[in-house]
Amino acid sequence: MSEPSIFTRILNGEIPSEIVAQTDTLFAIRDIAPKAPTHLLVIPKTQEYRDVTELAAGDPGLLIEMIELAKGLADAEGDGDFRLIFNTGANAGQTVFHVHAHVLSGGLDESSMNAG
């Protein structure tokens, strides 16, 4: 088992962060460096998958659940429209290798195309 990721440590209460939504398999937090009025991270509770390609291959149903939760959060916190970003690989700006979706909503323009 690899070292706990920063997101696993948040889930375990070792690093403070408000968990804004939770299901059996997922949780969501506010990004500490928001790039839009609503900028949430939707994260599987398991850190088994490093990025969205591993998740799609290993548990596509969980990927669908992530999209459904993202939509629910954009409805509740944003204007219902949202941008879903999976930075995949270091050269694409991924810094945490525990798969997560950036959910950006509200007041979006080209400057928030990059969630990293």
**Cβ proximity of 21 and 69 under 8 Å:** yes
Q: Does 112 bind ligand AMP (CB under 6 A)?
A: no
Catalytic one of 39, 98, 100, 102: 100
Which one, of 101, 61, 56, lies nearest residue 83 by Cα?
A: 101
Residues binding ligand AMP: number (CB under 6 A): 13
Under rule CB under 6 A, residue 94 binds ligand AMP: yes
Binding window for ligand AMP (CB under 6 A); candidates: 42-50, 60-68, 74-82, 86-94? 86-94
Site map (CB under 6 A) of ligand AMP, residues 14-43, x = contact: -x-x-----------x-xxx----------
In the bound state with ligand AMP, the residue whose beta carbon lies nearer, of 74 and 112, is 112
The span from the first CA to the last CA of the chain, in angstroms, equals 26
**What residues line the site for ligand AMP (CB under 6 A)?**
6, 15, 17, 29, 31-33, 87, 93-96, 116
Residues labelled catalytic: 100
